[in-house]
Amino acid sequence: MSEPAGTSSNGGSADASSGSSQDVSRGPRTHGTVARLFHWAVVLMVVVQIPAGIAMTSEPLGGFADPLYILHKGLGSVLLLVVVARVLWRITHRPPSFPDFMPPREQRIAHRTHMALYALLLVMVLSGYVRTVGDGYPIELLNAIGVPPLLPSMPRLAAVMLVVHQFAVIGLVGLAAVHVAVVLKHQLVDGNTVLERMWPPVRKS
């Protein structure tokens, strides 16, 4: 995936602290509306998926386990499509350069963190799908709209994917927590405009 313009240099003359979303010399300084909608749709779905996944596998749940499994598998399938689309979008669209007030080293760490988040998201959704379909379980939402299982029964691989899924979720939660903490530090301690690069979900012109 392409790095944000200017990640490895410290060039550019934009006044990044101004909060302006455009800069004539270096292009947009904030993410566009499509990237923002992808970001916040994924955050919303992940925030539902993780508690649902933990709850459905916890005992005792009475009659709640089945609806939670149906929710988790259905929303997980939607998330799979959205994450794949988001990664394809990201590969084909260069993000805005990081603000000049971020030192080059911090820019490189931020870029690598974002790449790792994408990788963990992909591993999480793909392992969830293989774990479910490979073990012969239905995905009710996909069945309802006529999408057949895309894989044959593969119980051994499915068992491995369950472990991969669990580790990917732990990694994702940990890295997302660091990511959010860094954004909050920029916002609340440093008082700069990093949050405005991705918030609100629709970019103001």
Contact positions vs ligand HEM (CB under 6 A)? 39, 42-43, 46, 90, 95, 98, 110, 114, 117-118, 121, 172, 176, 179-180, 183, 194-195, 197-198
**Cβ of residue 57: shortest distance to ligand HEM, in angstroms?**
20
Q: How far apart are CA 8 and CA 17, in angstroms?
A: 20
User: Which of residues 118 and 167 has its CB atom nearest to ligand HEM in the complex?
Assistant: 118
Show the CA angle centred on residue 174, arms to residues 91 and 85, nearest 5°: 25
**Cβ of residue 99: shortest distance to ligand HEM, in angstroms?**
7
Q: Within a 10 A sphere around the Cβ of 195, how many other Cβ atoms? A: 14
User: Which of residues 43 and 85 has its CB atom nearest to ligand HEM in the complex?
Assistant: 43
Q: Of 19, 5, 1, whose CA–CA distance to 186 is shortest?
A: 19
In one-letter notation, the amino acid at residue 153 is: S
**DSSP 8-state code for residue 7:** S
Tell me how far apart the terminal alpha carbons of the chain are, to the nearest angstrom: 26
User: Which of residues 70 and 82 has its CB atom nearest to ligand HEM in the complex?
Assistant: 82
Q: How far apart are CA 130 and CA 158, in angstroms?
A: 6
User: Which of residues 87 and 154 has its CB atom nearest to ligand HEM in the complex?
Assistant: 87
User: Which of residues 61 and 91 has its CB atom nearest to ligand HEM in the complex?
Assistant: 91
**Cβ of residue 64: shortest distance to ligand HEM, in angstroms?**
25
**Cβ of residue 2: shortest distance to ligand HEM, in angstroms?**
9
**Cβ of residue 113: shortest distance to ligand HEM, in angstroms?**
8
Q: Which residue shows structure tokens 């998201």?
A: 121
